A and B are shown apart, each in its own frame.
Chain A
Amino acid sequence: MDIIWNSLRELITPTTAAYALAAIGLNVHFGFTGLLNFGQAGFVAIGAYGFAISVMTFGFSTPLAIAVTLVLAAGYALLLGVPTLRLRADYLAIVTIAAAEIIRFALNSSAFAKWTGGANGLYNEYSGWLKGSNPYPSGVVTVGPWTFGSNDLWIATVDWLVVLLTAGAIYLLVRSPWGRVLKGIREDEHAMLSLGKNVNLYKLQALVIGGVIGAAAGILYVQPTSVQPFDFATRMTFNMYTMLILGGAATVFGPILGSMIFWVVMRFTDELVNLGVDGGLFDNVTQGSQLRFVLVGVALVLLVVFRPQGILGNRTELSFDAK
Chain B
Amino acid sequence: MSDLQRLREAFRTSLDLPADAPVDDLQYQDNEKWDSLAHMSLVAAIEDEFSVMIDTDDVINMSSFQEAVRILGKYGVSFDE
Pair from one complex:
no
Interface residues of A (CB under 8 A from B): none
Interface residues of B (CB under 8 A from A): none
